[in-house]
Structure 1
Amino acid sequence: MSDSNKTDCTNPSTFILLGIPGLEAAHVWISIPFCAIYIIAILGNFTILFIVKREPSLHEPMYYFLCMLAIGDLVLSTSILPKTLSIFWFNSREIDFSACLTQMYFIHCFLAMESGIIVAMALDRYVAICNPLRHSTILTNPVVAKIGLAVVLRGGMLALPYPFLARRWPYCRTNIIPHSYCEHIAVVKLACTDIRVSSYYGLSVAFLVMGLDVFFIAVSYIQLCVILASYIPALFSFLTHRFGHNVPLHFHILIANAYLLVPPMLNPIIYGVRTREIRDRLLRLFTHKGK
């Protein structure tokens, strides 16, 4: 390994993101579906926000949670896609150390938030089905606001140890990250010290938070497409970094991108277009514009 890739056991000023190692020649082609997914996610989630804001009849708990999910999708996908596309298109691989940790924080923060929001939506559905006459008195606007605040605080607090621990480790091996974004374990693996605290914490959050959230969601209702798209690839990625040494690196990185990018594209379709009230408002909006 060249001396230029060595540090003196201090935090490097920058990291180098490789994109998808082994598929560098196909970066431009891979960027096409990535870009399409991002555009669909942006348009779909902004459409949800616009329609809910425009229609007073949609100012209800389910749609407030849907708006929170849309905002989370927008932040999550925007946290990684612009930098990933700059690697694919312009070979812009450098990322500042602090920017890398910030990206890491946003990824884990909004992953936890989105999981919590889906649980809140499942709770809303459960109350609507099991206690419809008291739905409006149970899930009042103040209660919805408190649930939203709890979801945000949970995500923010759970994500704090990721960059905090990563900043503490000394990096004296290399500053090259074999990934397309600052994935937690991909970064701390570069440290020249025992990183078991980071590794165990990441596994604990993955199993306890996601496991509990999936359980609560499954108890109230099943939306298999979103659950499978969100949780199974995420768990696969977490486990592969630690135990899947025989899994090709490019396959792992593609899956790691999929679990962050596909749900923001699918959520507006699963939770928005399939919701009759939003679908009707959307059709009415285009009908009026066509006249």
Structure 2
Amino acid sequence: MNKLELQKVANEVRKGIITGVHAAKAGHPGGSLSAADLFTYLYFEEMNVDPKNPQDPDRDRFVLSKGHTAPGLYAALANKGYFPVEDLLTLRHIGSHLQGHPCMQHTPGLDMSSGSLGQGISAAVGMALSAKLREKSYRVYTLLGDGEIQEGQVWEAAMFAGARHLDNLVVIVDNNGLQIDGKVEDVCSPYPIDKKFEAFNFHVINVADGNDFDLLDAAFKEAREVKGMPVAIIMKTVKGKGVSFMENQASWHGTAPNDEQYAVAMEDLKKVEEALCQK
């Protein structure tokens, strides 16, 4: 896909996030929106995946370590064709396959159940090691939140990945600067994030704007060229990206929009769509 096509898909992903969380009257829109471009890039450009064959043993794997941003992942999977977009309206409903955190037993396209923060990266490291031991060529990607990396298990997994030279692993940190209690740096600062991963023998790529497809494209192309060590992509993003009243507001970490707010949010995204269609 070219940049414009990716931008259009990302806007549809954002619509899906807002639609699902509004219908559920619960969920996590802020971090889902900040990572919408990343989800889009992974599933529509970077990863070797096929919704017609979701269990292909040679597919690339993705683990959403910050599992509460499942609305973003679900919206990307739906737009990719793993299940109908209309299913997003059933988010968190009883009997739905789309629950508040990813469950691989019920949702097509999921490689790992997640939600307990800090644990997803360990699963991703295990998948990457498995590929190495079995001489498989698939790559493993995992997305962490900048608040999530306050968890100690993250660094145990990073230490192991670096020690085993897992160059088929890409760890992405969504550095939107906010978590449920406020600014990440005020709660328990993880900075400098890049230097920490470098200390564990990672090749680190800093992305100044993780909501920019040109920069994401350059970062992932660089990651593919790295040999002998895992890669950490630290991307600076805007929490609530794309919805005017949600951007850079910690209060939208885990709050669903009411009917009036939903209408404003969808109007914001409609304007983005119209602007993209004019390009």
Q: Work out which structure has the larger RCO, using CA pairs closer than 8 Å and 6 or more positions apart in sequence.
A: 1
Write 1 or 2 for the structure with the bigger share of strand: 2
Greater Cα radius of gyration, structure 1 or 2: 1
The structure carrying a bigger helix percent of its residues is 1
